[in-house]
A and B are shown apart, each in its own frame.
Chain A
């Protein structure tokens, strides 16, 4: 039921390498979210955008990640220097105006070796 497209589905990186993942939100959805789901099924909010502007982000994202949602291009989330603890499922979601239903992509599973 979701039209959010995430690429790649799987990503393997060495420690210290950059890891970049992309997300195409559902057409017409101005709000985009990134979440990290760890092996214990815990979700961590990373950042959200409304159109091209950052609404909120956590400290980790601000310090270690680079994220953007340019107009007419996929959104992206890039870890600048991968660590073993970054191994997780990264989920992108999009939604209409604030506080409406959100839809998730299939995720990018990152393994840092």
Chain B
């Protein structure tokens, strides 16, 4: 079936630093979303991309359908960025169903 492989599974950043999360897809995906899940379980929309790159504040995301990957870059990390980040992709044949990655648990420390 359609698979989304997300890495890393866990990440610790000092405030002010940055890093990248990545999702690789085993099949052609037509779009990807990135979410942050907070401690209460709420999924917050970060990005929706059908192609290309989007930027919002300290976050930037890229989706390359041909090479089957998407990335989420975080720069100047803040304590409130802590949480679990998920990518979720829509496969070409899926009636819009999202296939989720395994999540990245991000901890931002002082």
Contacts and interface: CB of A to CB of B under 8 A. Distances in A.
A109 B41 CA distance: 9
The 3 closest A-B pairs by CB, nearest first: A101-B48, A43-B100, A104-B43
A42 B94 CA distance: 19
B91 to A, nearest CB: 10
A35 B42 CA distance: 13
Please classify how large the interface on chain B is, using the bins under 10, 10 to 19, 20 to 34, 35 or more: 20 to 34
Given A41-B103, A91-B43, A98 B84 contact: no
B95 A48 contact: yes
Interface of A: 1-2, 31, 33, 35, 37, 41-43, 45, 48, 55-56, 89, 91, 93, 95, 98-104, 106-107, 109
A89 B31 contact: no
Q: Which secondary structure dominates chain A's binding surface?
A: strand
Nearest to B33: A101
A4 to B, nearest CB: 10
